[in-house]
Structure 1
Amino acid sequence: MSDNNYTIDIAGASVPVTALQTNINVASVLEFKPFKDWASAISKETHSVEKEELEIRKVEIQNVDYFGPKVGFVKFKVDARLIENGKNVPGIVFMRGGSVAVLLILRSKDENKTITEHVVLTEQPRIPVPSLAFPEIPAGMLDGSGNFTGKASEEIKEETGIIIEDRDLIDMTELAYGNQYKGAYPSPGGSDEFMRLCLCIKDMNVNEVKQLEGKLSGLRDHGERIVVRLIKLNELWKIPDMKALSALSLYKALKEEGKV
């Protein structure tokens, strides 16, 4: 265990932060933006309640994965207890920060002027699932800049080869939640990850749409092997990707309210 004395301020209390492995650099974790954001948010949340309900006694860093010199993922445990009875609140956290995903709808007309809407999917190896060709909408981790649409257009270009301008993207999570939430949370019981779900509707020639099917893409030097797939919008609900299902739900609801 690390001998260094590190603390963070939570609601005016100095909470110790320790590492369970000697090779963990606690200082780098404290500077990891998702961790700093979490500490600030939990402090504000504790301050916001009328009656003090939760006591955070310590934070134990269990493991850290690095992307080169940068902190990538952090797993830690928070000793948090209800003041009224001393019972522990579940506090194991897998921290990875935010991500952005895009519902990219391609509209095309055939020779009969019939409009067809396709959604762009990517298939790539997802070891945790496990699957060598898991279907999902284009997505990627946020870089901390706060430029959600810029990151979204970058991911679309990398994963599908389609060039999208930032102004063509609509942040559906902003329309739905405003400043109340950072995005949609796929697993709040165990991870801090939030998803910004963006929408882009692009008109394309029917032949251009057909040429996308089966296209190989991705950054090979980043270990990516991506195949572009297309699915009709009205069949997207059949895809087992929570990003796609969440984006589809938001799109339909916002469309009904006339916001997109």
Structure 2
Amino acid sequence: MTKLMMLLNASLGGVPLPHHRNPLLRFSNKFSLLSSSKLLHRRFCTKMTTPTTTSLTQTIHLNDKERTPVEIIAAPGLSNHDFRMAIESSLFIKWLENMQCETGILTYGDMSLKRVLVQGVDMFGKRIGFIKFKADVIHDETGNQVPGIVFARGPAVAVLILLESGNETYVVLTEQVRVPVGRLILELPAGMLDDDNGDVIGTAVREVEEETGIKLKMSDMVNLTAFLEPATGGKVFPSPGGCDEELSLFMYKGEVDKEVIAALQGKETGLRDRGELIKVRVVPYDKLWRVAADMKVLLAVALYEMAKRDGLLPLK
């Protein structure tokens, strides 16, 4: 993805960076400070933390020159560094591009983006992991505001691994601790794409090896989401009402001995130094849809079965 850089005001303590021309948007080269009274006067429809004396704001210009410039504002308590990292990140820039793409909600001219409140940032080392923000999007005809709370985490990939042994087909799953739902979840091997790395299939192969110990070749992978209509972008969206995540689903099918199935069952894997406490679970394919409540599993099964029905899978 093209990286968009902005000119940073000296008030941020940063050295000005070269401006990258993005056809979809333009960032102004000024960061300004708003007093808390002015922020309150704007009457955002969101709950904020205790106000601070100042807050950062940035103005952007979208592709449509007739549109009013959009204000990007840091919520009180968000540091200068985190605010700058958020609005320069590929996560945020990709979201703006999606808003203005061929099927974007700003493309048809009946919706307007007025402002964005950046509420929080989670860092993965030195790079952005997640961004939480609220976008004020207005339906122009009625003046009504549409829901715009966004948890941005970006693209991800998952792999359906089918292993044939004897007369049985098995699926390789991972059992992982998932704190948000408070449960151990059986799911497909999966992972997020690096912030600046669009190598989807390479990420799929790497995640499979890290989470299961199985080494796959890129040439053996079948992209199930590529069978979708082009208008979908060849991706699926697990929770579009609140999250920007777009998911690519792959499939691998191979033959193994029973000893391989036994060796995989219960194997402990994952990057333990990063808190990945993973166990491999192998289940019969015909029972998969009943034992795994992971959305990625059920989506992959549906795409695989439909592609098989329509004769779209490669013959091997």
TM range (shorter): over 0.9
* Amino-acid identity (%): 37
Q: State how far apart, in whole Å, the 2-side matches of 1:182 and 1:10 are.
A: 25
Tell me the CA shift for residue 177 of structure 1. 3.4
Moved more, 157-166 or 181-190: 181-190
Change in Cα spacing, 1:256 to 1:122, as seen in structure 2 (3 Å) is same
Residue type of the alignment partner of 2:294: D
Q: State how far apart, in whole Å, the 2-side matches of 1:221 and 1:47 are.
A: 43
What residue ranges of structure 2 are gaps of 5+ in the alignment? 1-51
Check the 8 A contact 1:176/1:254 in 2, yes or no: no
Moved more, 182-191 or 241-250: 182-191
Residue type of the alignment partner of 1:84: E
Check the 8 A contact 1:177/1:183 in 2, yes or no: no
Say if 2:85 is the partner of 1:28.
yes
Alignment match of 2:211 (pick from 149, 155, 159):
159
Q: State how far apart, in whole Å, the 1-side matches of 2:158 and 2:296 are.
A: 7
Paired position in structure 1 for 2:304: 251
Alignment match of 2:259 (pick from 163, 182, 207):
207
Alignment match of 2:107 (pick from 30, 35, 48):
48
Q: State how far apart, in whole Å, the 2-side matches of 1:122 and 1:69 are.
A: 28
Q: State how far apart, in whole Å, the 2-side matches of 1:178 and 1:209 are.
A: 37
Tell me the CA shift for residue 150 of structure 1. 0.7
Change in Cα spacing, 1:254 to 1:19, as seen in structure 2 (3 Å) is same
Paired position in structure 2 for 1:227: 279
Alignment match of 1:141 (pick from 179, 192, 198):
192
Paired position in structure 1 for 2:235: 183
Which structure has more relative contact order (CA 8 Å, sep 6+)? It is 1
Q: State how far apart, in whole Å, the 2-side matches of 1:40 and 1:139 are.
A: 25
Structural mapping, 1:106-125, within 5 Å = 106-109=163-166, 115-125=167-177
Tell me the CA shift for residue 203 of structure 1. 1.2
Residue type of the alignment partner of 1:231: V
Paired position in structure 2 for 1:15: 70
Q: Deviations over 1:91-146 (max 9, x none)?
A: 0000000110100000112xxxxx21000011111111111x31111111111422
Residue type of the alignment partner of 2:130: F
Check the 8 A contact 2:57/2:74 in 1, yes or no: no
Q: State how far apart, in whole Å, the 2-side matches of 1:26 and 1:225 are.
A: 32
Q: Structure 1 length as normaliser, TM-score?
A: 0.92
Q: State how far apart, in whole Å, the 1-side matches of 2:225 and 2:219 are.
A: 16
Check the 8 A contact 1:101/1:137 in 2, yes or no: yes
Check the 8 A contact 2:269/2:280 in 1, yes or no: yes
Tell me the CA shift for residue 47 of structure 1. 5.5
Tell me the CA shift for residue 179 of structure 1. 5.9
**SS class of match (2:300):** helix
Q: State how far apart, in whole Å, the 1-side matches of 2:161 and 2:228 are.
A: 18
Q: State how far apart, in whole Å, the 2-side matches of 1:85 and 1:47 are.
A: 15
Q: Deviations over 1:4-55 (max 9, x none)?
A: 4412333434211011033253221122112111101212325632xx2111
**SS class of match (1:101):** strand
Check the 8 A contact 1:9/1:43 in 2, yes or no: no
Paired position in structure 1 for 2:180: 128
Change in Cα spacing, 1:22 to 1:94, as seen in structure 2 (3 Å) is closer
How many residues align? The count is: 252
Q: Deviations over 1:163-203 (max 9, x none)?
A: 00111111111122346325110100000001100000021
Check the 8 A contact 1:100/1:141 in 2, yes or no: yes
Change in Cα spacing, 1:179 to 1:162, as seen in structure 2 (3 Å) is farther
Residue type of the alignment partner of 1:135: L
Larger Rg: 2
